């Protein structure tokens, strides 16, 4: 069973609505990743954090998404104004370090934008 907890499991939004999902990384893991997995099962890296600091993020994430990993609170990923193309499985993963360590994935939040 996954020790990375993602909520909600399913999320349905209309176009233009905000969509927010949360992730509790595995205990003791300071590095958190968000990936988008589309209907063709392709992974797209969105952003990663080490503790509360952003390490890397892609352009799309900078513009339409906001993400944070506050101390002592779940990490979150929010789409400011959902588009149909955002419909996907959003996977959160955590790891012990950024160097060649395995990722532990949550079950994901499946977002459907109608």
Partner 1 sequence: GDSVTQTEGLVTLTKGLPVMLNCTYQTTYSPFLFWYVQHLNEAPKLLLKSSTDNKRTEHQGFYATLHKSSSSFHLQKSSVQLSDSALYFCALIGSALGRLHFGAGTQLIVIP
Q: How far is the CB of 48 from partner 1 (least distance, A)?
A: 6
My answer on whether omega of the bond before 27 falls inside 30° of 0, hence cis, is no
Nearer to partner 1, 15 or 53 (CB): 53
Distance separating alpha carbons of residues 28 and 38, to the nearest angstrom: 29
Distance separating alpha carbons of residues 74 and 107, to the nearest angstrom: 15
Nearer to partner 1, 36 or 82 (CB): 36
Q: Which residue is listed with tokens 């789409």? A: 79
Nearer to partner 1, 19 or 103 (CB): 103
Residues that bind partner 1 (CB under 8 A): 2, 4, 31, 33, 35, 40-43, 45, 48, 55-56, 91, 95, 97-103, 105-108
DSSP string spanning 49-83?
EETTEEEEE-HHHHHHEEEE--TTS-EEEEESS--
Nearer to partner 1, 14 or 87 (CB): 87
Q: How far is the CB of 24 from partner 1 (least distance, A)?
A: 14
Q: How far is the CB of 77 from partner 1 (least distance, A)?
A: 16
């Amino acid at each position: 069973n996954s020790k990375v907890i993602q909520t909600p499991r399913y999320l349905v939004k209309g176009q233009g609505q905000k969509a927010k999902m949360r992730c509790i990384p595995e205990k003791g893991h300071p590095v958190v990743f968000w990936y988008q997995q589309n209907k063709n099962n392709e992974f797209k890296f969105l952003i990663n954090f080490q503790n509360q600091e952003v390490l890397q993020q892609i352009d799309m994430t900078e513009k339409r998404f906001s993400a944070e990993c506050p101390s002592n609170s779940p990490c979150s990923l929010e789409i400011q104004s959902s588009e149909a193309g955002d419909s996907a499985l959003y996977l959160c993963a955590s790891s012990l370090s950024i160097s060649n360590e395995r990722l532990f994935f949550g079950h994901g939040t499946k977002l459907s934008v109608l």
